[in-house]
Amino acid sequence: MQYPLLRFAILAALPMSAQAASIDDTSVPKEIETVKVQGEQLKHPITLISPGKSTLELDDIQREQAHNIGELVMKMPGVSLDGGARPGSERINVWGFSHPSALSIRVDGAPVGFQQYRYGSFFLDPQLLRSVRLIKGDHNVRASLGAFAGSFVMETKEATDFLDPDSSIGAMAQAGFNSVNHQWKRSVTTYGASDSGWSVLLHGSRRDADDIELGNGDVFTFSGYRQHSLLGKVRYQSDAHNMIVQPYAL
């Protein structure tokens, strides 16, 4: 214990110049190294590749005559279906990702959750849609969290999609039958618009299907389903205001 105290006493007695000389000279840098960087100017413009997008317009949707959303969106590149033949057992697959948490669905700007646990099914009649846009990959900043596989942006029909330019009110009824599963489809739509900017649309549809009959005569058990869809839209649009009141049940 005496040696460190003695060394401290000796250093304290020495002049400041002697103390500085006692420090190891190798710890003090004598010269700062100079780094030279040489490069060339990039002569080609940088281009950003936009994410993959697919769109189905009103004419495309009406031409497909799809039974459910899964059959409709599988017409898009990079989209396929997993699961069974019923709307409740289908799973939408975008670029290999099919978990519901990896997809974002928005109908008329409002987020719509999947209506079946751990499966990507949402029961919306394709006949109600005027357009479907798919942004593939996690590129849509409005899709909130998730949407790693992509996001679907859907818009429902307006009264103007049914009215002729010189008409203000109308109605339409449709019926269809499929022999493979004895499916009956019935729908009624009423619509009207005024010169003051108001428009109203009411739509109801129902699908009743039994089990599918396969080509060999066997029956695909539990493939039947019942699907009811209702849509009501009231819209007011002017040069300064645009208001939409849209209660609907899907």
Band the pLDDT of 169: cuts 50, 70, 90.
Answer: very high
User: How far apart, in Å, are the Cα atoms of 19 and each of 8, 13, 124, 202?
Assistant: 11, 10, 86, 95
Q: pTM of the full predicted structure? A: 0.65
Please give the structure tokens belonging to residue 97: 């990702």
Rounded Cα–Cα distance for residues 45 and 17 (Å): 61
Q: What angle do CA 244, 247, 250 make, to 5 degrees?
A: 125
3-class SS at 30? coil
Rounded Cα–Cα distance for residues 211 and 168 (Å): 42
Residue 246 clears pLDDT 60, i.e. is over it? no
> What is the per-residue pLDDT for 97?
83
> What is the per-residue pLDDT for 190?
93
Residue 224 clears pLDDT 60, i.e. is over it? yes
Rounded Cα–Cα distance for residues 226 and 210 (Å): 9
Residue 145 clears pLDDT 70, i.e. is over it? no
pLDDT tens readout for residues 21-39: 555 555 666 778 888 888 8
Please give the structure tokens belonging to residue 17: 């110049």
* Residue scoring higher pLDDT (194 or 138): 194
Phi and psi of 65, rounded to 5°? 55, 50
Residue 201 clears pLDDT 60, i.e. is over it? yes
> Is the separation of the CB atoms in 201 and 232 below 8 Å?
yes
Annotation: CATH topology of 53-156: Ferric Hydroxamate Uptake Protein; Chain A, domain 1 (2.170.130)
* Residue scoring higher pLDDT (53 or 21): 53
| DSSP character string of 67-89 | SSHHHHHTTSTTEEEEE-SSTTT
Q: Tell how strand 248-249 and strand 225-237 pair up.
A: antiparallel
> Is the separation of the CB atoms in 197 and 236 below 8 Å?
yes
> What is the per-residue pLDDT for 10?
45
Q: Tell how strand 198-209 and strand 150-156 pair up.
A: unpaired
Mean local confidence (pLDDT), 86-101: 77
* Residue scoring higher pLDDT (242 or 207): 207
Band the pLDDT of 100: cuts 50, 70, 90.
Answer: confident
